[in-house]
Structure 1
Amino acid sequence: MLALCLALLGGLALAGWWQAQQDTGAALRAGTLRLHIRADSDGVYDQTCKLAVRDAVLDLTARLWPRDASPAQARQAAARSLPRIQWAARQALARLGVSAPVQVSLVNMYFGTTRYDGFALPAGRYDAVRVDIGRPGSYGQNWWCVLYPGLCAAACGGYDDPAQTDLVCGDYILRFRAVEWWQQLTASRADRVLVML
């Protein structure tokens, strides 16, 4: 009888821990807006174009919402500013003498675990501003970062909730791997376009 009670208590504790990790991961994904840039190929020329677009988009988006904006406000500002983001990307390409097509959209898509200098974001579905450079469907390596909170060039931090900052900036430990494993099994890989020009 004692073994049954201990097993039941252990199961309840494990279920509570699991739910807390899922809730923190879901809140983290809901509070994050990512930037996703795709170029025609992995060639040096296309990757150079992609990095120039990245710099232009980051420069613009740094001014699109106030530092104390909520995730919803940042997402709305990004959606309203898709034409400006597209223009900034085209201008960056024009400075390089490139006239490739640029498509900009706000999407909800799956990202694998992404490690940055000093922090990592768990796998799962995130909203992202996507910038596609060149011919549709012929993309090289992706490049991404976090637009909100502004972590593209920053060190760790930026989340209001300490549990979210801990999840992003803390050590990559078993609890994180368990949530990642679950997301990889259950998250849809199909992108959902939220707003497109």
Structure 2
Amino acid sequence: MLYKRWKGRLLLFLAGFFAAVLFFSQAAAAGRIEDKVLRLHVIANSDSEEDQALKLKVRDQVLATLKPLLENAEDRSSSEAIVRAHLSEVEAAARETAWQEKPGENVHAELTNTRFPEKTYGDCTFPAGNYDALRITIGEAKGKNWWCVLFPSLCFVDTVHGVVPEESKELLKNVLTEEEYESLFTPGKSEYKVRWKAAEIWQSLFG
């Protein structure tokens, strides 16, 4: 009886322990990546077909404006500094595009820290977390949004075919640690490690 009680408590402890390890390991990995990338976030006025199409046109103009400016950016901090210095120019370009179809539409650009869900670009998955981002809002900004990674420059590549180009992967390698980089292409890697360790300890305790 005493053995069963002890065993039950041990199992509960182990379950809680490994859940905590998994949570904090994933949070730590996400936190490190958050500090090294800059994202772009474009929010449409509404979910109407017209507003969603306009969102993409504004996105294209913003990217066209930013691409030559960010070509020589070496890290997230320099990318943010460049965007900040040209923020009014970016906003003006976005507004001009929006006004071609909806004259007088409110368009605003700002640098902010915002929550992003897990997002996959081709074969690369960025974890959910709070990221610094250039946010473009159109009208009431109540529609579906679009986002990408400005630095390293994943916004400027085609990920439709399911893979991130090698050139972009090299950019990621230059700013992330090996573990951080591998975690982007192996979603749940931390979870697998913890489960394997849990199984190993379980085997040693109970055979």
Question: Smaller-chain TM-score range?
Answer: 0.7 to 0.9
Aligned length: 166
Query: CA 1:27–1:42 in 2, change beyond 3 Å: closer, same or farther?
Result: same
Cα distance in 2, alignment partners of residues 177 and 77 from structure 1: 39
8 Å CA contact 2:183, 2:189 repeated in 1: no
Using the TM superposition, name which of 153-162 and 85-94 deviates more. Answer: 153-162
Give runs of aligned pairs for residues 42-121 of structure 1, distance below 5 A: 42-96=47-101, 98-121=103-126
Q: What residue in structure 2 maps to residue 39 of structure 1?
A: 44
C-alpha deviation, 1:68, in angstroms? 4.6
C-alpha distance in 2, partners of 1:110/1:29? 10
One-letter amino acid matched to 2:143: G
Root-mean-square deviation (Å): 2.9
TM-score, structure 1 length as denominator?
0.73
Contact 2:107 2:138 in 1 (8 A): yes
Q: Give the equivalent residue in structure 2 for 1:129.
A: 134
Equivalent-residue separation in structure 2 for 1:18 and 1:44 (angstroms):
39
* 2:73/2:79 contact within 8 Å kept: no
Name stretches of at least 5 consecutive residues in structure 2 with no aligned partner.
Answer: 1-16, 158-163, 194-207
Verify the 8 A CA contact 1:100 1:134 in the aligned structure 2.
yes
| Inter-partner Cα distance in structure 2 for 1:30 and 1:107 | 13
2:188 corresponds to 1:173: yes
Q: 1:82 to 1:56 in 2, by over 3 A?
A: same
CA contact (8 A) 1:122 1:176 kept: no
Which of the two has higher C-alpha Rg?
2
Does the Cα contact within 8 Å between 1:36 and 1:144 map onto a contact in 2?
Answer: yes
TM-aligned CA distance change 1:151 to 1:23, over 3 Å:
same
Q: Confirm or deny that 1:142 pairs with 2:145.
A: yes
Q: Distance in 2 between matches of 1:140 and 1:18?
A: 31
Q: Which amino acid aligns with 2:79?
A: A
Kindly provide the CA deviation profile for residues 136-164 of structure 1, in whole angstroms up to 9, marking residues without a partner as x.
xx511111111111012432522213333
Cα pair 1:167 1:176 within 8 Å, conserved = no
8 Å Cα contact 2:111/2:134 also seen in 1 = yes
Tell whether the 8 Å contact from 1:86 to 1:103 is kept in structure 2 after alignment: yes
1:163 paired to 2:190:
no
| More off after superposition, 19-28 vs 70-79 | 19-28
In 1, Cα distance between equivalents of 2:115 and 2:129: 5
Sequence identity (%): 28
